[in-house]
Structure 1
């Protein structure tokens, strides 16, 4: 029975570790998105960019998945007349997530 419990505990530990890494990657991705969006939005200064990143993080927590974050970004960019398509924004979201995951893996 110990072997089965050991396997279960190892699986649970891996699941928790993977979930933590995903959470960190998504938070880092959102900060990278804030930096990227700062240009078209006319946001300058570290404090303002950090504040906007916080706004994006809050938006991303409203519902499961990335659609809430996308809608916030799209609405903000549209309001400033940035003229970025859904495809361009989603591609940037994907690039930022890849960059975030890479930087986390380099830290380990």
Structure 2
């Protein structure tokens, strides 16, 4: 039995939805890595330490929806080193990293 036009169209929409979701996920991961690199600079981390830190930031973003988990983690890490940056300033930097990630993607 052949598929109806409706079934083919539905499959097409599902494929597009999954592709867009995957693209969004990759952009968020790139954004998080760029943000972690910026924070690493604030924390004076470099090399392997900066890479390891980036992984912790990416993992933090997977904990709950939205950016608050990342902002809270980074703000606590900075505060532990005596660096006070407001959540609003961190959100602004995170937004800039999102723009950079999108620009890199074309």
- Report the alpha carbon displacement of residue 58 of structure 1 after superposing the two structures with TM: 1.3
- Report the alpha carbon displacement of residue 27 of structure 1 after superposing the two structures with TM: 0.7
- Matching residue of 1:99: 100
- Matching residue of 1:11: 13
1:33 aligns with 2:35: yes
- Matching residue of 1:24: 26
Q: How does 1:39-58 map to 2 (within 5 A)?
A: 39-45=41-47, 47-58=48-59
- TM-score w.r.t. structure 1 length? 0.88
- Report the alpha carbon displacement of residue 32 of structure 1 after superposing the two structures with TM: 0.3
- Report the alpha carbon displacement of residue 81 of structure 1 after superposing the two structures with TM: 2.1
State the alpha-carbon separation in 2 of the partners of residues 56 and 38 from structure 1: 10
- Matching residue of 1:83: 84
Task: Give yes or no for contact 1:40–1:80 (8 Å, CA) kept in 2.
Answer: no
Report how many residues are paired.
104
> Runs of 5+ in structure 2 lacking a partner?
none
**Secondary structure at the residue paired with 2:82?**
coil
Task: Compute the RMSD of aligned alpha carbons.
Answer: 1.3
- TM-score w.r.t. structure 2 length? 0.90
**Secondary structure at the residue paired with 1:65?**
coil
